[in-house]
Amino acid sequence: MKAMVYRGPYKVRVEEKDIPKIEHPNDAIVRVSRGAICGSDLHLYHGMMPDTRVGFTFGHEFVGTVHEVGSSVQNVAVGDRVMVPFNVYCGSCYFCARGLYSNCHNVNPNATAVGGIYGYSHTCGGYDGGQAEFVRVPFADVGPSKIPDWMDEEDAVLLTDACPTGYFGAQLGDIAEGDTVVVFGAGPVGLFAAKSSWLMGAGRVIVVDHLEYRLEKARSFAHAETLNFTQYKDIVVQLKKETDYLGADVVIDAVGAEADGNFLQHVTASKLKLQGGSPIALNWAIDSVRKGGTVSVVGAYGPIFSAVKFGDAMNKGLTLRMNQCPVKRQWPRLFEHIRNGYLKPSDIVTHRIPLEHIAEGYHMFSAKLDNIIKPLVVAGQS
């Protein structure tokens, strides 16, 4: 089969690999029809995530058709069209039994601090991902779901991470009616977080980024006010002015490890890899939220320490809430929102890239060329 493989920082290519095999009775093998490149894949691509091995296949957003099932699989069958959450999880450990699927303890030998994630380095379990023609899906009775007949395949692939993660980020904010919500990052997760903030009753939603074309999308897709942080001497002061010097009630960090806007942080994290991530957006969030407010973090950070302004968070009495999204928990309610016309996930898709051209896709997405917001990966067509 054809699969994307990592060759070192900023280098990927397509190689022929063996089709994955059933390794556990509850495995399935899925033939991928649509995948995606996620902003967090760029952390791997840039060499920021520890234990990212040459030869590894990325990709944690994918949908496809069940090709083979293990002997104990009951809930999906060969030929079913399935959507697969980015979380690999068992459904029965201490954490899964409480709905914390993203914190599963039975699927990641390499680390206890993070659960299993498809195609996201050995730090997240060493599972090859879905930027390939086939992928191994453990716990097929637990993770994947059949794609409803009424659902568009491109909406389904957005429901495997970006859309539920944004929706989850808004939930972590504990938004109350009339709250002012600031979202850092107008990428896919930030756009969905902004859109979801309205569902939870926000009175104002402000999205902050430095890419004008993405801020335009935040205005048109998420009905948000926008601020370009490069146009202000100090974005935190500007946000204070915007909120009558109170600060926002809720701030969502939808940027994560490669935030820009502070040279020292950028250099030490993104370039020299001396931090687990560049916490610029997180520090801005801590400083621009009101005292007693809530900071929600759904931007991804690596496991190495980061220079976070924890003193401000403590002194302001903030609630910091964060996690990787337990995707499948979000699906029933998100399905309702899509059917009611509140949300059309595939509206943010800008590019469809054949798997064979994935190196160009990574470069475009990394360098933010061609007004790219969300690139999908199309397997088996070129």
Residues 25-54 that bind other proteins (CB under 8 A): 25-26, 47, 50-54
Do residues 355 and 14 lie in contact, with contact meaning Cβ atoms separated by under 8 Å? yes
Cβ of residue 113: shortest distance to other proteins, in angstroms? 6
Cβ of residue 173: shortest distance to other proteins, in angstroms? 10
Binding mask 212-231 for other proteins (x = CB under 8 A): x----------x----xxxx
For other proteins, the closer CB: 63 or 221: 221
Among 77, 78, 152, 201, binds other proteins (CB under 8 A): 201
151: tokens are 């659902």
Binding mask 84-123 for other proteins (x = CB under 8 A): ----x-xxx---xxxxxx---xxxxxxxxx--x-----xx
Three-state SS string over 2-53 comes to: EEEEEEECCEEEEEECCCCCCCCCCCEEEEEEEEECCCCHHHHHCCCCCCCC
Question: Angle 160-166-172 (CA atoms, 0-180°, nearest 5)?
Answer: 120
Do residues 327 and 160 lie in contact, with contact meaning Cβ atoms separated by under 8 Å? yes
Binding mask 294-313 for other proteins (x = CB under 8 A): --------xxxx--------
Under the criterion CB under 8 A, does residue 378 sit at the interface with other proteins?
A: no
Under the criterion CB under 8 A, does residue 316 sit at the interface with other proteins?
A: no
For other proteins, the closer CB: 77 or 267: 267
Under the criterion CB under 8 A, does residue 12 sit at the interface with other proteins?
A: yes
Under the criterion CB under 8 A, does residue 178 sit at the interface with other proteins?
A: yes
Under the criterion CB under 8 A, does residue 18 sit at the interface with other proteins?
A: no
Residues 244-263 that bind other proteins (CB under 8 A): 244-247, 260-261, 263
Residues 117-156 that bind other proteins (CB under 8 A): 122-123, 125-128, 138-139, 141-142
Do residues 65 and 163 lie in contact, with contact meaning Cβ atoms separated by under 8 Å? no
First-residue to last-residue Cα distance in the chain: 14
Applying CB under 8 A, the span of 8-16, 29-37, 152-160, 308-316 interacting with other proteins comes to 8-16
Residue count of the chain, please give it. 382
Those residues whose C-beta lies under 8 Å from the C-beta of residue 216, and which sit 6 or more positions away, are 226
Binding mask 156-175 for other proteins (x = CB under 8 A): ------------x--xx-x-
Under the criterion CB under 8 A, does residue 350 sit at the interface with other proteins?
A: no
332: tokens are 């029933």
Under the criterion CB under 8 A, does residue 329 sit at the interface with other proteins?
A: yes
For other proteins, the closer CB: 152 or 342: 342
For other proteins, the closer CB: 20 or 64: 20
Under the criterion CB under 8 A, does residue 11 sit at the interface with other proteins?
A: yes
d(CA 2, CA 21): 15
Name which of 122, 144, 1, 18 is nearest 73 in CA terms.
Answer: 144
DSSP state of 330: H
Do residues 131 and 376 lie in contact, with contact meaning Cβ atoms separated by under 8 Å? no
Residues 63-82 that bind other proteins (CB under 8 A): 72, 74-75
Name which of 105, 79, 80 is nearest 92 in CA terms.
Answer: 105
123: tokens are 């730090």
Do residues 187 and 195 lie in contact, with contact meaning Cβ atoms separated by under 8 Å? no
Pairing of strands 374-378, 349-354: parallel
Applying CB under 8 A, the span of 33-41, 153-161, 309-317, 330-338 interacting with other proteins comes to 330-338
For other proteins, the closer CB: 256 or 361: 361
Name which of 88, 81, 87, 86 is nearest 33 in CA terms.
Answer: 81
